A and B are shown apart, each in its own frame.
Chain A
């Protein structure tokens, strides 16, 4: 379950090496064990330089993408996980856990406590998931609240000390590096026993106001087509976020979610690891099952010991009969230009009070917009010529008719590869409108977390506040005149 080495590599396209190792750490005691466990199949951890080169090649991040290279491009060289075998110096280093996120490549090599040839099944290697958690932890630490390169550099410079806390010998103790940061500056307050290890050393000072903030966010995903044999798939994901500022070592909190009468039950519930117990009825409710009336309908209790930071207590989905905004999009290729039509209709049951609502209409794999003629029934249209993007700002409210539309023609200039990058999805007429909106104090299902239902087992009475909101996420309306990239058939209904 230990890691032999960890790397952070920033990907820098169009430079000589295409990347720089920003951080690396090797664990010699783990390496010693690897040599024993792996026996004749042992491959040592390479130096940073060869590792960087091999990894960038395998991840296809080198600039020389021109030719066909068999060991990388062969049709049978199929990788379906973020776990790679890197050819280095005639040997293969495996398993290398690696992924790219925000221009940074996170990589580590977990210890495999057995012979590597033949490759043992991934499920039998505990270090794989531990490695992923370590990398996710580093990623969260680097990018939480980080805005600038200077901040990133500061955080990178903290990493050696942090890993000495969180992963001193290559075995991860806590993936939350912020906790470790707090631990470094340890206080002299004697810590009681039975303190959860995922709570940092600091404790709430007595006498300060305690507070619990509950936030229920609904993210609605949707995809629309206008083709007769395609159903309209769409789903909601709810995020139930909690921030608890409480006194005591192990304050216990129970929050209940309640459904209105005839409300759809919660499904696909995922909870934060701090939840201490879970009703099995909550666990078994799945969106893939056919619904029946006897389904568990709450209240849904989540007992937990809150960590210090705000956290996502649970995620769930729920089936709602209609999407909040129905849409229609049509793009017709005419001789020198495109003719576009967009219709949007707000469902009558939805609260017509947005914090914001806008429709993004991008045009990929074309040049900059050179000419635009349009007519909108409502709102304003902004044009980003170089990016090939139209943004239709609808504002806070739909008009009384609840229906708005946009029509117009767009012409494009010559395409230049640097400014308009290639998009592999929007080709041959495939195009979309993406809706971005947010409605405060509203959820479609009516599911709610009542302040009075919150039970707190701690000294003192905390102030409890609850908020709700509905936001869009991946809310696409595809061009009905072209094939859509997602295939949903009657099979799903």
Chain B
């Protein structure tokens, strides 16, 4: 039964199993038999776990009425067990129904009235109470959505079996929405999760209250664990009903608070979290805290219980919480005097010590003036405790758990009391002494340094560095010293570190020690290196016995010699590459390679062609750049498709920053024939983190008009003659064509002045213009625009290059649209 997936891989298989179990049940002889109970449990498990439970399942339709019949102690089928067995079977049937209801909320919605009746008359109290409470809770969830008549359900004393069929209507509602019984209480408060708070009708509310009161009245007859279950269920049920004061629970509280039963106190805490001030006044809250404090240290209770109560204290659901949600804190009403028995001592086991230490730290962190003496006294206790922990961790041959505890305590203190130098300073010195006594704890120190905030981390680094470099490096502790140095070595005070390493190099005989040594070098390299380091690396590259070590040292030397400091930092930063298991050098090289090679990146900039300015003998594109992030040493490379222009020079820009104005970049073009083109653009640049990146930018278009150049202008009077000369010289080698240039509403003049002004040689505005354009490398285009009519102007054009005619046609036709 424990592995339903193997037993019943699908619902039909579970259905078959349940059916055969029910068949067996009927066949049992009418004398007492323990098998009846087991068969009921098994059939229930098969249906619920096998996923067969549902209105279409024959076994479900047999089992449910059978269980309900048994639970109500009435209509037992003739021959179904002797009367002496009735009572245990009644309880079992209730348990089975409860399990089925848990898996299909709403299943027993129709039986609420019946169950209430049973609870009032006869029948085992606990199974019926729990069943009724669960059904009530679930129906409130289902009903808050379905709007089913709750009052009717609670009052009806009839069976849900209508015409021999089970009423599944409420299940359909609940089925898809199996709801958390206790999501975070706050969330439920806001009605976000499932149980949307609703306002019931007056009569409905009265019935619900009556049912809850009926259940609460007899709770003391239940076992403590069942009492707790009942309280959770009823608490949850009442939460869904707005305007239902939880005062019903109040008479139970004194009795519950008197015990130290974990389930009962936990249920009370859940009620506290659920109803807050509505159920617990400030005095009640203080009393609950006191009881928790007492239970958290009571010698009659087992240690796991103490720990749970300590946890509850640190996560106490206060009426008026002050701190941020989700962070452990001492409740406001919990004063240090109340917790004098909860302070940590070395006699406690690690978990109890840490939990109590946390509480102590929270008290030490309090900054109220009137409690200054008390806080000082507590801080003193804390100091002594930490010293004791350090002493124990320093014991030669002591178990690792002691060291772990010491570092965990240090972490906790550093975390809670980061702003209290009076606590941190002795802690840091104590830790440094601990290292002095037991360098074998180096991995713990490295771990601690990686986890704590700089308030503890920085001074501890300095102390540990001093501690390590002040010792001659030859003893067994060398590898631990090197491990620590790799973590704490940095730019300052390199001299001492280097001389320590020089002294240590001679003793680093094995591969692992050499690697440890090189790791320190790497750390120094990352911090910027220095002359001394270069010398050391050269020495190591020659002297180390292991070839891997020598290669490593050489690599570091090369990096140090060739890379600028920022680049070095980037190159040595933690590698993203997964380390290979071959040589460590290979593994590391993967990291370097990533940092030193050009990396593909998405374009960090936008490039566009700006307005034209005509200067010089060649057409020049003005490029506008916009960057999204700082970019250094930018090189823009252009390539023309089809070789219609001569190769283009790259553009170099030293530095570009976002939101800083940039002068346009000038890109001279050398067309081999006068044609528009697409420019393929690549950018190569360095990021602010020092990585070199390459990005492919969207292509730039060079339009036909971008290639236009004017003829040198003759003196004013000579212009008509000059134009006519050009006009005539085109033929007979060239060609003449006539095109229709559509005009916009403004007519010819604005069109010419907007697009063609630099090229006009002779003009008689607004009707007649003679235009001469030079097209590099050596073509010309001459146009006469005369006799404009309403919607267009005839253009006579001559050129010495046949190939440009379609381009000109397109150009002229596009002008009116572009005005």
- Contact digits for B400-424, partner A, Cβ 8 Å, 1 yes 0 no: 1110100110111000000000000
Known: A121-B315, A315-B298. Contact between A270 and B260, CB under 8 A?
A: yes
Residues of B within 8 A of A83 (CB): 308
Q: Decide: A270 and B298 in contact? CB cutoff 8 A.
A: yes
Interface set of A (CB-CB < 8 Å, partner B): 1-2, 25-29, 31-33, 36-37, 60, 65-66, 68, 70, 73-83, 97, 99, 101, 113-115, 120-126, 128-130, 132-134, 136, 164, 168-169, 171-176, 183-184, 186, 188, 190-191, 193-198, 219, 221, 237, 239, 268-273, 275-278, 280, 282-284, 286, 288, 312, 315, 422, 424-425, 427-428, 473-474, 483, 485-487, 489-492
Q: Decide: A68 and B49 in contact? CB cutoff 8 A.
A: no
Q: Decide: B273 and A37 in contact? CB cutoff 8 A.
A: no
B380 at the interface (CB under 8 A from A): yes
Q: Provide the bound-state CA to CA distance between A186 and B125, in Å.
A: 17
Interface size on B, as a range, is 35 or more
Q: Decide: B180 and A80 in contact? CB cutoff 8 A.
A: no
Residues of B within 8 A of A172 (CB): 225
Known: A33-B102, A73-B400. Contact between A237 and B340, CB under 8 A?
A: no
28 examples of A-B residue contacts, CB within 8 angstroms: A32-B51, A75-B408, A81-B355, A82-B307, A124-B183, A133-B224, A133-B263, A134-B225, A164-B38, A169-B41, A173-B126, A176-B223, A193-B124, A197-B126, A197-B226, A198-B222, A219-B299, A273-B261, A275-B258, A280-B254, A282-B258, A283-B254, A288-B337, A288-B338, A485-B347, A487-B385, A490-B377, A491-B374
Question: Within residues 263 to 282 of chain B, which ones have a CB less than 8 A from any CB in chain A?
Answer: 263-267, 269-270, 273
B26 at the interface (CB under 8 A from A): no
- Contact digits for B797-810, partner A, Cβ 8 Å, 1 yes 0 no: 00000000000000
Query: What are the 3 tightest A-B residue pairs by CB atom distance, in nearest-first order?
Result: A485-B346, A197-B126, A28-B49
Between B45, B127, B346, B391, the greatest number of chain A beta carbons within 10 A of the residue's beta carbon is seen for B346
Q: Decide: A65 and B223 in contact? CB cutoff 8 A.
A: no
B477 at the interface (CB under 8 A from A): no
Q: Distance (Å) between the CB of A343 and the closest chain B CB? A: 23
B232 at the interface (CB under 8 A from A): yes
Residues of A within 8 A of B362 (CB): none
Q: Distance (Å) between the CB of A376 and the closest chain B CB? A: 28
Q: Decide: B411 and A78 in contact? CB cutoff 8 A.
A: yes
Pick from A29, A97, A284: contact of B48, CB under 8 Å? A29
Known: A73-B447, A270-B295, A424-B392. Contact between A312 and B300, CB under 8 A?
A: yes
Pick from A101, A115, A174: contact of B225, CB under 8 Å? A174
> Which of B57-65, B286-294, B527-535, B713-721 lies on the face that meets chain A?
B286-294
Q: Distance (Å) between the CB of B157 and the closest chain A CB? A: 18
Q: Distance (Å) between the CB of B554 and the closest chain A CB? A: 32
Pick from A76, A133, A269: contact of B411, CB under 8 Å? A76
Q: Decide: B223 and A174 in contact? CB cutoff 8 A.
A: yes
Residues of B within 8 A of A31 (CB): 4, 49
Q: Provide the bound-state CA to CA distance between A184 and B182, in Å.
A: 34
Known: A78-B354, A194-B221. Contact between A424 and B388, CB under 8 A?
A: no
Q: Provide the bound-state CA to CA distance between A174 and B95, in Å.
A: 13
Q: Which residue of A lies closest to B274 (CB)?
A: A124
Q: Provide the bound-state CA to CA distance between A133 and B226, in Å.
A: 11
Pick from B269, B299, B351, B388: contact of A81, CB under 8 Å? B351
Residues of A within 8 A of B180 (CB): 37, 113-115
> Which of B84-92, B206-214, B607-615 lies on the face that meets chain A?
B84-92
Q: Decide: B307 and A121 in contact? CB cutoff 8 A.
A: no
B237 at the interface (CB under 8 A from A): no
Residues of A within 8 A of B452 (CB): 75
Q: Which residue of A lies closest to B49 (CB)?
A: A28
Question: Within residues 293 to 347 of chain B, which ones have a CB less than 8 A from any CB in chain A?
Answer: 293-295, 298-300, 302-305, 307-308, 310-312, 315, 317, 326, 336-340, 343, 345-347
Q: Which residue of B lies closest to A82 (CB)?
A: B304
Residues of A within 8 A of B312 (CB): 122-123
Q: Decide: A28 and B401 in contact? CB cutoff 8 A.
A: no
Q: Distance (Å) between the CB of A71 and the closest chain B CB? A: 11
B27 at the interface (CB under 8 A from A): no
Q: Decide: B255 and A275 in contact? CB cutoff 8 A.
A: yes
Between A83, A280, A283, the greatest number of chain B beta carbons within 10 A of the residue's beta carbon is seen for A283
- Contact digits for B247-262, partner A, Cβ 8 Å, 1 yes 0 no: 0000000110111111
Question: Within residues 759 to 817 of chain B, which ones have a CB less than 8 A from any CB in chain A?
Answer: none
Question: Within residues 366 to 401 of chain B, which ones have a CB less than 8 A from any CB in chain A?
Answer: 374, 377-378, 380-381, 384-385, 388, 391-392, 395, 397-401
Q: Provide the bound-state CA to CA distance between A65 and B84, in Å.
A: 58
Between A121, A193, A194, the greatest number of chain B beta carbons within 10 A of the residue's beta carbon is seen for A121
Residues of A within 8 A of B126 (CB): 173, 197
Q: Decide: A126 and B346 in contact? CB cutoff 8 A.
A: no
Q: Decide: A193 and B122 in contact? CB cutoff 8 A.
A: yes
